[in-house]
Structure 1
Amino acid sequence: MTRRLVLTNEAAGHPFRRSLPPPPRARRVRSDDSDWRLFALSFAAFFTCFYSFIF
């Protein structure tokens, strides 16, 4: 039985690491609009700070 935490075989790893469950698989994240979201958030933060300092 091989696990992802052990690189070569079960005898090569530490007993504590072998007792851990395998890590969950990472979900694929859609980052199609992350640039636009970051731009909008940055613009809103700058506008709020600038507006609060002026008025």
Structure 2
Amino acid sequence: MRRSLVLTTESARHWMRMMLPSRRTAFADLPASAPSDWKLTAGDIRGVATTYFATVAAVLAFIV
């Protein structure tokens, strides 16, 4: 495969991306999305703790 020294577009740095049409690489020019509104709640922590202790209890029951 013969490769040229000059890239077709600056956003296509990988050799496979250089072969794609420009409409496929246009998504790279989009602005970053807004930060998500995900928050850690007390219910999430309670669920993790419950799962952890239930697993520990089940493992200990099988061992003993």
TM-score, scaled relative to structure 2:
0.42
Which has the larger helix fraction?
Answer: 1
Work out which of the two has the higher radius of gyration on C-alpha atoms and give 1 or 2: 2
TM-score by length of structure 1 reads 0.46
Larger RCO: 1 or 2 (CA < 8 Å, sep 6+) = 1
